[in-house]
A and B are shown apart, each in its own frame.
Chain A
Amino acid sequence: MSPVRSVLASILAFLGATGALAQPARHVKASLLAEADAVVPGQPLTVGIRLEMDEGWHTYWRNPGDSGLPTRARWELPGGFSAGEIRWPYPMRFRTGPLVSYGYEGDVLLPVEIRVPASIGAPEVRIAARVDWLECQEACLPGRADLSLTLPVRATAAAGPHAALFAEARRRLPAKDPGWQVTAQPAPPALRLLVRAPRGAALREAWFYPAAPRVLDHAKPQPLLREGATHRLDLPLDPNGAAPDRLAGVLVVETASGTLALDVDAPLSRGPALPPKKQETKP
């Protein structure tokens, strides 16, 4: 092939590829929703990216695990408005052969808080986002959608028609819970998470989802052991990972009262993880 033809072929191939990437996704329906029915000047507004996935297909969490990509949004907002980060409901695990990835199936709403200026010089507001995701069954396809919604500007707002979806998404958001004591210690080749549940509740199951890649080996088991009032979860480290000085992520636990997602950001202490129990203290 002559150099000119080769360059032309590259350009055509490039155009072909970007064209293919810009096609609507085939297995995920994306939409942008608002929690309230109006925008109130000076009051934050919660919107949500809803992804409705065909049976068998999934999209990814902020840390996709062994493969995949997190869903991303680029916002197009009126002057004075700004968007926060996606708030991620706790994910589930997908095992494919020896690999484990983290994400969602079915229907997920990813809430985002929009900061609203104190004065708005228009009767209505348009909020738009270009959303990119990766949808996978076994094979993966990149998905993209240009989404928007328009809301009236009012002095007060009421719940919008999708408020129930937002309530459900909030129930799945990891939260800090002062009743739970969670500490982390280095225990090469693992990190040891020590968990004390309120009122000595027993953990039936537990899984720790690290917020970032390159901390844990996602596919290895996380054995859960009970040691008195404390539960111990051993988290195998990624052998090529960066040595962390904190452990951040989500601990999903199953107790008799249901599933709970705890927001964990623990320094890696080298000392005793928990204060000694009273009965062990000799006078």
Chain B
Amino acid sequence: MKKTLAFAAVALAVLAAASVPTASAEAVVGQAAPAFTLTDSHGKSHSLAGLAGKVVVLEWWNPECPFVGKHYTSGNMQKLQKEWTAKGVVWLTVSSSAPGKQGFVDGAKADALMKEKGGASTAVLLDHDGKAGKAYGAKTTPHMFVIDAKGRVVYAGGIDDRPSTDVADVATAKNHVSAALAEVLAGRPVSVASSAPYGCGVKYAD
């Protein structure tokens, strides 16, 4: 009975929503990346427009999510950050956890956590109102986007092909972000331009 009522309530909400056309702002492979301006953990502003000419990685992050934990505990994420920023890529770690939600961080907390883990991204951007996350259609932590020097989305999806929380899977996974970056920097088209993102849901405000 409870389930039937819940089903009915959802269906009604869906019908109500259906009459209002919703513009879907989402990062779509091959199209211009959605614009954003966000403040980093040190209070510095970063906008996508200001990064024209650079290859940019966006990494959605929630330090308390076990999927994120898999990639930081194994050292995988930090290794990628070090490797690609050394090659001139701008790597932006984005926190869209809303205040009061799991993984919410202020600048000081973000810095402390990244220092503890040896994080090496260019900056940690604070997206407390979830505006940038929703503009990109960021669904999970991690959810990864690669933007080329012309500002186009060239990769959107999971960090690799092993959806799990198992640290042991990192060693045998095919890393989609590394593959996409290698191709972009070599001036080649990205062969796997999207995959299913996997992880915890981004903890947006309700």
Contacts and interface: CB of A to CB of B under 8 A. Distances in A.
B64 A66 contact: no
Contacts of A14: 73-74, 167
Interface string A221-239: 1111000000000000001
A134 to B, nearest CB: 7
B205 interface: yes
Nearest to A137: B102
User: Which of A68, A98, A138, A242 has its CB near the most chain B CB atoms (within 10 A)?
Assistant: A98
Interface string B14-58: 110110001010111100000000000000000000000000000
B18 A67 contact: no
A82 B156 CA distance: 37
Interface residues of B, number: 53
A148 B155 CA distance: 42
Interface in B170-206: 194-196, 198-206
Which size bracket describes the interface of A in this complex?
A: 35 or more
A138 B73 contact: no
A228 to B, nearest CB: 20
Nearest to B134: A98
Contact of A17 (B140, B156, B167, B203): B167
25 contacts: A10-B75, A16-B73, A17-B74, A17-B167, A21-B165, A67-B139, A68-B201, A69-B198, A93-B10, A97-B202, A97-B206, A101-B201, A138-B101, A139-B102, A140-B66, A141-B66, A214-B194, A214-B196, A223-B15, A224-B15, A239-B28, A239-B137, A240-B26, A240-B29, A259-B7
Interface of A: 10, 13-14, 16-18, 21, 66-69, 92-93, 95-99, 101, 132, 134, 136, 138-142, 204-205, 207, 213-214, 217, 220-224, 239-242, 254, 259
Interface of B: 3-4, 6-8, 10-11, 14-15, 17-18, 22, 24, 26-29, 64-67, 69-70, 73-75, 101-102, 130, 134, 137, 139-140, 156-157, 163-168, 194-196, 198-206
